[in-house]
Amino acid sequence: MPATILVVEDEEDISILLRYNLEAEGFGVQTAETGHEALEHIQHQLPDLILLDWMLPEVSGIELCRRLRAREETAQIPIIMLTARGEEEERIRGLATGADDYIVKPFSLPELIARIRALLRRASPNLVTASLKLGDLELDRTTHRVRRANRDVHLGPTEYRLLEYLMRHPGRVYSREQLLDGVWGNEVYVDERTVDVHIGRLRRAINRARETDPIRTVRGAGYAFDERFAQPA
């Protein structure tokens, strides 16, 4: 499952160019033309990074950035602002509002992609490293092997994807709907209870008798990888 980038840009040609090139680099890409559309996307699925155009109709890029920073569940999403050439003041305001980086139009694609990777490494190292180690649980993205306390854990493909997805952002609570979209993909129709079934299988596979369960059930909300489990003892 690739890292997902939400591109918020009202100019169609730029949006198409970005989608094409980011997908070619292996990212999952969603696009929105307006701030409202972006908020709807985010409500449905939190992206791993947002490319945000400054000049948008209705809600401006800067206003959208401010709103995202003000909400707990979106405060940490890395944001790169796309600004017009020579608008020094925009950049300063963008960074002051909480954007992590900015890039000036017309931009160089290799530079933009390098900035995206650098920001993802800094903000979400769990998204990009080949091997994830949280507590005594290890997941290797290259070999798809999972180990707990140095023993091999055998997971079905769905349980593997579910674990990998939850481990990306320890502490982040995902609704069943978000897990279905992120793990199963939104083109597949599966019942939300399917998530519970696979979480159950995952738990049985990774937890032995007295071991702490790293998966937290959040009543009325969904599931999270327990951030306390992720911290070194």
DSSP β-bridge partners for residue 224: 216
Q: 216 — phi, psi (to 5°)?
A: -105, 130
For Ca ion, the binding residues in 49-68 under the rule CB under 5 A are 53, 55
Helices marked H in 9-101 — which ranges? 12-24, 35-44, 61-70, 88-97
Q: Which is nearer to Ca ion, 55 or 123 (CB)?
A: 55
CB of 45 to Ca ion, least distance (A): 23
User: Nearest distance from residue 162's CB to Ca ion, in Å?
Assistant: 37
Residue closer to Ca ion, measured from CB, 10 or 227 = 10
For tokens 């949280």, name the residue.
Answer: 134
**Identity of the residue, 19 or 216, whose beta carbon is nearer to Ca ion in the bound complex:** 19
Return the number of the residue (103 or 128) whose C-beta is nearest Ca ion: 103
- Residue 32 or 179: which CB sits closer to Ca ion? 32
CA terminus-to-terminus distance, the chain: 29
Distance set, CA 39 to CA 146, 149, 193 (Å): 35, 41, 26
Closest separation between CB of residue 141 and Ca ion, Å? Answer: 35
Please identify, among the stretches 2-10, 72-80, 95-103, 167-175, the one whose residues bind Ca ion according to the rule CB under 5 A.
Answer: 2-10
Q: What is the DSSP string of 34-54?
A: SHHHHHHHHHH---SEEEEES
**Cα 6 from chain centroid?**
10
Nearest distance from C-beta of residue 23 to Ca ion, angstroms? 21
The binder of Ca ion chosen from 10, 87, 136, 196 (CB under 5 A): 10
Summarize as ranges the residues that interact with Ca ion (CB under 5 A): 10, 53, 55
